[in-house]
Amino acid sequence: MFRLNYACEQRYGVVADIATRIADGRPVDVTMPAVNVVWQRDVSAWALRGILSVHTEVTVLNVIGPETMPVRRIAKQSPTPCSTTPATASPASAIPASRPEP
């Protein structure tokens, strides 16, 4: 059994979701303060290697990333257009959104 926690890639996943929200000027939800990130390429490679472990009895392979990433860190390190500052959805811990004035 191959259980995937959550994979991401440049086009989808939590990192892409955060970057898209920042680029659109929308706040980033920090209700879940950290996420486990694993790249789809790694997951695919592990799945192929897991085929070698196939037996008649079930072997559980839990696939997760190597570290837990704080959502704020991902937001702050995401490339942003026009020096956009990420904003969070919770007012108590907000990182204010700002776009340069034209």
102 residues of the chain, pLDDT tens digit each: 777 767 777 788 888 888 888 888 888 888 888 888 888 888 888 888 888 877 788 778 788 777 788 998 888 887 665 455 555 565 444 444 444 444
Tokens of 44: 């695919």
Break the chain into its structural domains and give their ranges.
2-82
C-alpha–C-alpha distance, residues 50 and 95, integer Å: 42
Residue 75 near residue 97 (C-beta atoms within 8 A):
no
C-alpha–C-alpha distance, residues 66 and 3, integer Å: 15
User: Taking the model in full, what pTM does it have?
Assistant: 0.62
C-alpha–C-alpha distance, residues 37 and 59, integer Å: 23
